[in-house]
């Protein structure tokens, strides 16, 4: 190639490159929106805490489903979830799974776990109950404690001793966040109004199975007609910066068809109603399926 031809070619190449840069300049500093997944650590409202988007529930049929796995089967379930990035564990005194969890998490880094438990009724000495929970679970602190299964529109007055104790426990570092789980619209609507609440555990699925009903009876389920009222309350809770965790996502385990599970998980993941969800699993395969469905729904949101 002659010198003048090389110079002409270099000029043309440089001109094309500059024109291309002008039409599509590089996006310095710009980053693609990260893909959201079930194992993401997400903010829990304005509590200052993070939680994995998916959690392992240990209370299916009051914990019977998980206890039936035996200690080794339960540990395999928790360890599999942890390996998949699912580090939120949901339990309660009523589930009788505290000691199962203690053995299952032995040796795991405590700071990577989010352990939520629930205290029922109005015990005489709530702080002593919390101390017992910590011993049963083998931990120094509890990430979140809820007053369990509130039903009355006056639950905050009726459970004042527990609310005050949880407030004090947070100040002492025994717990990191406090809140309520409700059964029924009277309690749910009241929970939105109670400033003490930092975290709500809410029942949610688009089929309306085992969601909040209109009465204050704990075992009265709502349906598709009460779903709009439930959604309205959740939106109000979110507007106040509360942490929102969804439960009954698979209809208390009654969504046997893949289509029902897909419909529910897609609705919950794409509705912007919750920070995280908890599902009661009976096998590692169920964990894998939930992660796959959540990831797919989040990618399409």
Hey, is 83 helix, strand or coil?
A: helix
- pLDDT tens digits for range 256-281: 999 999 999 999 999 999 999 999 99
pLDDT at residue 103, as a whole number = 98
Which residues make Cβ contacts (< 8 Å) with residue 171, sequence separation at least 6?
A: none
Domain ranges for the chain, please list them: 49-299
Rounded to the nearest 10 degrees, the angle between the axes of helix 258-270 and helix 284-299 is: 50
CATH of domain 49-299: 3.20.20.100
Q: Is the pLDDT of residue 174 over 60?
A: yes
Rounded to the nearest 10 degrees, the angle between the axes of helix 284-299 and helix 70-83 is: 20
Q: Is the pLDDT of residue 94 over 80?
A: yes
Give the whole-angstrom CA distance, residue 206 versus residue 217.
22
- pLDDT tens digits for range 178-235: 999 999 999 999 999 999 999 999 999 999 999 999 988 877 878 889 999 999 999 9
Percentage of the chain lying above the pLDDT 90 cut = 85
- pLDDT tens digits for range 132-166: 999 999 999 999 999 999 999 999 999 999 999 99
Neighbours of 136 (CB within 10 A): 18
- pLDDT tens digits for range 234-246: 999 999 999 999 9
Give the whole-angstrom CA distance, residue 188 versus residue 201.
10
Q: What is the pTM of this model?
A: 0.88
């Amino acid at each position: 190639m002659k010198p003048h031809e090389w110079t002409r070619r270099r000029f043309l190449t440089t001109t094309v490159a500059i024109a291309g840069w002008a039409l599509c300049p590089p996006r310095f500093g710009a980053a693609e929106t990260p893909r959201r997944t079930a194992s993401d650590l997400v903010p829990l409202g304005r509590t200052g805490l993070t939680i994995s988007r998916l959690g392992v529930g240990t209370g299916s049929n009051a914990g019977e489903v998980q206890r039936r796995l035996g200690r080794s089967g339960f540990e395999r379930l928790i360890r599999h979830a942890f390996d998949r990035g699912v580090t939120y564990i949901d339990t309660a005194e009523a589930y009788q799974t505290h000691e199962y969890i203690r053995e299952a998490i032995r040796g795991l880094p405590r700071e990577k776990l989010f352990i939520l438990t629930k205290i029922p009724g109005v015990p005489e000495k709530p702080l002593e109950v919390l101390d017992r929970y910590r011993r049963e679970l083998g931990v120094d602190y509890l990430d979140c404690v809820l007053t369990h299964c509130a039903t009355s529109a006056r639950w905050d007055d009726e459970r004042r001793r527990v609310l005050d104790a949880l407030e004090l426990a947070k100040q002492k570092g025994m717990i990191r966040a406090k809140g309520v789980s409700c059964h029924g619209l009277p309690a749910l609507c009241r929970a939105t109004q109670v400033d003490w609440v930092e975290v709500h555990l809410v029942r949610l699925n688009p089929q309306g199975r085992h969601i909040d009903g209109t009465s204050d009876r704990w075992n009265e389920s709502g349906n598709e007609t009460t779903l709009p009222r439930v959604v309205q309350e959740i939106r109000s809770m979110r507007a106040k910066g509360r942490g929102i965790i969804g439960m009954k996502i698979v209809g208390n385990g009654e969504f046997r068809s893949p289509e029902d599970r897909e419909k529910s998980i897609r609705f919950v993941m794409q509705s912007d109603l919750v920070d995280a969800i908890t599902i009661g699993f009976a096998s590692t395969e169920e964990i894998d399926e939930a992660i796959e469905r959540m990831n797919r729904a989040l990618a399409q949101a």
